[in-house]
Structure 1
């Protein structure tokens, strides 16, 4: 089955060349992928000279307008007409593409996508979900990471349903382990909305997840949790802290190994281990944040992503389309609302 992905070719820190190199890599891995390349036609045509395989699977949609990284979301919505971000999302709305991928302004992408695609039935607010590395073989899904700075209990419950559906698609878990991010694991800890959301999830029937209560931020990377749910304010802070810690570790190792001749020799001996660490912490290997809760699939690629990172974001979008994440969430919410009998709490390993 062919999947056509709209690529905002002008998004990302490195521009057209890297966005198209990523699309080409994704196409090389998946011959069924097709692309709608949105952006400046001259630049896209020039970049396609390096990717003949991508050219044969692509259509160009010209746009000479971009939304810069410093534009506020409200302003971006007013300016969206004819921009590469706006046209890529409009292609999803019109059914001309099955998903959109952009490395551009996150706030602008969220605002334009929400206005064009609207939130799906049963969801009050969309959430930004991303993959974070863990000590286990699979990443942890965390949401919301900045789309909603303030959330009530109802929002958090909906985020949990969406995150669990995403986890089931990504890792084929029958009942992903879900926890709410809090300042402690005891039932009395946290805000009233957190405690209320936890109570609702504990009592919920018909949800294909294993809700396990609260978790603290130091357990984000443990690998013992599949989905971590929080509001966008706390989630964005936690995300930046995790990214900063990863950079701190890698930079400290580089500095330590360069400090003396003996350290450089030690680096040669330990290089296989340090390469494994570098690979594990490389954000390109976890690239592709998803706006869950919209009537359409929109994936945010990290602005600094390289070709491998862009390809991973494209693959995330294609997988969500293939497994119809929107319908899964609708079905899960329907089962929750009707109070159907809960499925067996089995988790794939």
Structure 2
């Protein structure tokens, strides 16, 4: 007879089960995003029945039997609420929570594009090759798709649009915290500010709007800049940060360094150092700083990001320390924690 499981062992089993089936939660979330269920409920101004939801799903014959099971899971996950008010009809009402409000497509801080990117087949496939990377080295993304992620996006316009939308949505989320808690940090910038790897320019547009005296420059690869919308107060410059960065008074490096190896980061940082004045210039870096002892709301996500960098990039990672700054010629730096996933790092030349 097998020995009785201890409470600790049983707890361990339950945690493993949760990890095994965590992908189901992600796919259920993707499902309701694709069906626009949060938007449907929001358009009614309050909780509605399953039949009302189904009637507005983009399908001539949606399955209520399937929908109720998906909603049941997401009610348990606190994505939606469940109300039993229609006693006479026996129907249940479903409403939004503070969590599902992040799934509204037209909301300023919607994270719908991230849900769609993270669960895209092209994004999921490399994660099946993590063990191969451990055994043989090499980047999982390249093993699956035959090229680096940046080459892949430049050759696949549809995927590139999904990727850029997701990065723009993450930028909005980070910028909300950054402008709320670090806004004064840009107040001392007079003249030009270059956003290195700025994507489609969302971050720089927000900064210039808050500080009109700043001459904003969005700097990224030519194929990214080519699809960037016109933004007031922001000029677009295409180029390669590994070759050179436009001369400027100050530099913003968003979620860029985590995509690259230490060697590549050193090239970027040295080019940043060359592009700013010897006296008075600085670099503002938006960067995840991993801390072993920290237990804030975003710690688990930061650790997940590190594995994603391992899977999708050659040498990319989230870092526990910033010694690279000193080696690149930045003798001083300060770290500011804000209420989001990355922190703000101010770096000053020696």
Q: Say yes or no: TM over 0.5.
A: no
Instruction: Using structure 1 for the length normalisation, give the TM-score.
Output: 0.27
How high is the TM-score relative to the length of structure 2?
0.27
Rg larger in 1 or in 2?
2
